[in-house]
Amino acid sequence: METNYAWPGYLDKERWDWLCQCGMAGPALPHPGDPRAARVMPRRPGWAAADDIAYRRRIFDRFHGLLTYGSPLEKFAGI
């Protein structure tokens, strides 16, 4: 659910470079005064350019869903 600008802060340089090589990340021109480019958490790493973003549509293009099998929270509630 993060903005495209926040993704470099969660990845190391090698993983980011791999995304760029695969065409799933790269530069984008933020609109003047775009607050997403200025305030992101976690902080952008020093190796990331100010206009680097993740291309979320390309990354999740083949993602069809997520299947889970319950939650252990019920056990904690019982304790």
Q: pLDDT tens across 14-35, in order?
A: 999 999 998 888 887 555 555 5
Instruction: List, as one string, the DSSP characters of the chain.
Output: ---TTTGGGGS-HHHHHHHHHTTSEEE--PPTT-HHHHS-SSPPPTTS-TTEEE-HHHHTTT---------THHHHHH-
Q: Is residue 1 part of a domain?
A: no
Q: Is residue 32 part of a domain?
A: yes
Backbone φ, ψ for residue 8 (5° rounding): -60, -25
Residue range of the domain that includes 55: 7-78
Q: Is residue 62 part of a domain?
A: yes
Q: Is residue 73 part of a domain?
A: yes
Q: Is residue 2 part of a domain?
A: no
State residue 18's pLDDT score.
Answer: 92
State residue 17's pLDDT score.
Answer: 92
The count of structural domains within the chain is: 1
Q: Is residue 15 part of a domain?
A: yes
Q: Is residue 70 part of a domain?
A: yes
**Which residues in the chain come in under a pLDDT of 70?**
1, 29-41, 78-79
